Structure 1
């Protein structure tokens, strides 16, 4: 399965708006990591990650999000996880990451 990632700057509200589709796993995590870190190289802002079209996430994908969150926390910024599907939301809940990330939707 493939993965697509797109992003845009919401300069009005000062955050990165990111959409991830497909599967975030060991075969796609490097692409996501590079994309998110390139955003932070441009400007360190809160990141809103829309997961409404994400079908699957594994521990490697979670690790990428945790790494980005650590970099953001140094600057008092957050990652907001928006609209996760039930199966993806369950992974965040089982791992306790629903308490670490700001979950919405």
Structure 2
């Protein structure tokens, strides 16, 4: 499977990022580069919409942590919305549900 990354400003003027497909060892470098570039150029809070995310592995979770740290350096917030139950379970097991603001 591959990864497409859609993004744009939402009504709260946050940057909404929608990963479509899988964030894994193969697609994580691209995911990280795109989001780091967006953090540098857009200077907006980040919302990661998991509605179209089918799979994430430990590499992907590590990338999310690096995105979180990069955003913190710029005093930006990172929220995650619309995770599927099987993906939320990974956040719960790893304790990342206590790090990230995860909604619905």
- After TM superposition, is the score higher than 0.5? yes
Provide the secondary structure at the position in 1 that maps to 2:69: helix
User: Where has structure 1 moved over 3 Å in runs of 4 or more?
Assistant: none
Per residue, is there more helix in 1 or in 2? 2
What is the aligned partner in structure 1 of residue 3 from structure 2?
3
Q: Give ranges in structure 1 of 5+ residues lacking alignment.
A: none
Q: How does 1:84-99 map to 2 (within 5 A)?
A: 84-99=83-98
Deviation at 1:13, TM superposition (A): 2.4
Provide the secondary structure at the position in 1 that maps to 2:5: strand
Deviation at 1:50, TM superposition (A): 0.5
Q: What is the CA RMSD across the aligned residues, in angstroms? A: 1.2
Q: Does 1:30 align with 2:29?
A: yes
Q: Counterparts of 2:77 and 2:97 in 1: how far apart (Å)? A: 13
Q: What count of residue pairs does the alignment treat as equivalent?
A: 104
Q: Deviations over 1:51-81 (max 9, x none)?
A: 1111111111011111011011123222111
